[in-house]
Structure 1
Amino acid sequence: MTFDPNAFLIILTGTLIAISCGLLGSFLILRNMAMIGDAISHAVLPGIVLAFFFSGQREGIAIIIGAGLLGILATIIIDYLSTKVKLQNDASIGVTFTWLFAIGIILITVFAGQIDLDQDCVLYGEIAYIPLDLIVTENNTILGPRVLWIAVINVILVLLYVGFMYKELKLTSFDKQFAQTIGFSTGFINLSLMGMVSYTTVSSFEAVGAILVLALLVVPPATAYILTKKLKPMLLLTILIGFLTSLVGYYLAYFIDGSIAGAMASVSGLFLLAAILYVTIQKRSIGKGIIMPAELKR
């Protein structure tokens, strides 16, 4: 098989997005907040509509800022409902994202005659178009795909964030009460994590679409969580699974001539199924005495 530069760009971009989403998603899994990504993907719609209304552009920093601010607002509302009102966490997420998403739909309807924007522009992307969306300078120098640069920036920011906040994220994810006792600002840490999730997901929507972003945010870290209960191996496994999801998903789409994003999301689900089967078989083997627990520890 000959080298295909377009395939390389798509796989590389998918891998980078999988890494940035997966690392943040790992901490969401540990905090029992896996569906916060789905909430943010819907809740940011009003911010995107208002940003587009004032800037007149479907892409760029204005859209990211508008969506990011709504993502943070959604986080604040969810946190308030769950901590102050004592509403269940899943109910808080459901109420918040449906309410904000409905406001976004209303805004689109109201501004329908003044702006060229609909739900498809906001929530769906196509990863196959990455090699076509190039950054070209005034001297006609091609700097590469725009979305690839965004994905690179996202990975760098996420790696810096996780590296700088690793101790705080780990402690607040496993023992929030103890973190508060020793003086950690759990509210700020949670808000910073949600802010990073908002930025990363929103900036990736246009490239790969909301469905694939949500899959990469939840499924690879969930798969890693099934296979290990230690944080660092979980993060490394999440990165590996994200890469394999992008690689295998692309070639699956190539051979079946189907959606690349859909194939990647499906492959991530297959990896999760494989992990579940592996752990189930291992537990049954232990129960039958085929594998002794002491041997597993070694």
Structure 2
Amino acid sequence: MALTAIFTAISCAVLGAFLVLRKMTMVGDAISHAVLPGIAIAYLLSQSRASLPMFLGAALVGVFATVVIEILSKKWKVQSDASIGMTFTTLFALGVVLITFWSDKVDLDQECVLYGEIAFVPFNTWSLAGQSMGPIALWSSGILLLIVLIYTFTGYKGLLMSSFNEDYAAVLGIGVGAWNLSLMSMVSVATVISFESVGAILVVALLVAPAATAYLISQKLKPMILLAALFGLSGSLLGYLISARFDTSIAGGIATMLGVQFALILAITQFTRTS
């Protein structure tokens, strides 16, 4: 469980650094709600709660949501927060309507769909050739971390320029729209993979809190990414250990420690600036 939380935390923290710079930190929250119709349709078509159909349905709608947000904010000049709010509320409401309308065919509850529980990670395993390979969430979070690191390393220049100055990046011939869409799609996939294991609330906390804490210390992208990953790692470990010690919610413990880290760094930075 701890390793799954750590992998997820680092993946979300790295992507969260770009979202903080772009002032789009609530995209993760939007996507975690917007994917509900995709999950409902995937279940109706497959009549299965298997991870793959659910993931494909959620991922497709998640990417669709990011495209809609991008078009609304960039092409049609709708404010980014309004674009995010309208997209996720509309899609989430559609998902609720679909589940209600197909209630005799779709044995799903929106709360169960949206909010995973990290404590259940060890029980959902997979096997290969009769050999148990361990929890699905551990593998998926590990693969996600590898993909995020490769994406960030190979696309660092494009992500850097499009995050700080889109006009200058366009002059240099960098495809700003393509980089924006790729980042939003990556966040969408990361959110879909993560919330099934750790829950939607913790995914949002991991996308926002470590990067926001790192931003208090450095506004340079590379140090900010490293610090965000460090805060995500430390918050996950501390939250897990405290939750295990006091037998409380693991996701709640991790999210709380992420908030405590932010409050401490904020207090320290404010004190050093005034002294």
Per the shorter chain, which TM-score range?
over 0.9
- Distance of 1:222 and 1:135 partners within structure 2: 36
| Structure 2 portions without partners, runs of 5+ | none
| Structure 1 counterpart of 2:196, one-letter code | E
> Which is greater in Rg?
1
Correspondence for 1:225: 215
- Distance of 2:195 and 2:29 partners within structure 1: 12
- Distance of 1:177 and 1:202 partners within structure 2: 31
| Structure 2 counterpart of 1:217, one-letter code | L
Check whether the contact 2:235–2:257 (CA below 8 A) recurs between aligned residues. Answer: yes
- How far the C-alpha of 1:83 sits from its partner, in A, is 2.4
- Distance of 1:173 and 1:24 partners within structure 2: 12
Correspondence for 1:293: none
- Distance of 2:12 and 2:205 partners within structure 1: 9
Correspondence for 1:247: 237
- How far the C-alpha of 1:85 sits from its partner, in A, is 2.7
Correspondence for 1:79: 70
Alignment of 1:197-208 (within 5 A): 197-208=187-198
Correspondence for 1:6: none
Check whether the contact 2:59–2:188 (CA below 8 A) recurs between aligned residues. Answer: yes
User: TM-score scaled by structure 2?
Assistant: 0.97
Correspondence for 2:199: 209
Give CA deviations for 1:207-250 in whole Å, capped at 9, x if unaligned. 11101111101110110111111111111111111111111101
2:170 is the counterpart of 1:180? yes
| Structure 1 counterpart of 2:125, one-letter code | L
| Structure 1 portions without partners, runs of 5+ | 1-9, 286-298
Aligned-residue RMSD, C-alpha: 1.2
Alignment of 1:1-298 (within 5 A): 10-139=1-130, 141-285=131-275
| Structure 2 counterpart of 1:44, one-letter code | V
Give CA deviations for 1:162-208 in whole Å, capped at 9, x if unaligned. 11111000000000111111211111111111111111110111111
- Distance of 1:149 and 1:142 partners within structure 2: 12
| Structure 2 counterpart of 1:155, one-letter code | L
Give the fraction of aligned pairs with identical amino acids, expressed as a percent. 49
> Per the alignment, do residues 59 and 279 of structure 1 end up closer, same or farther by CA in structure 2, a change over 3 Å counting?
farther
Give CA deviations for 1:95-114 in whole Å, capped at 9, x if unaligned. 11111111111111111110
User: TM-score scaled by structure 1?
Assistant: 0.89
- How far the C-alpha of 1:81 sits from its partner, in A, is 1.8
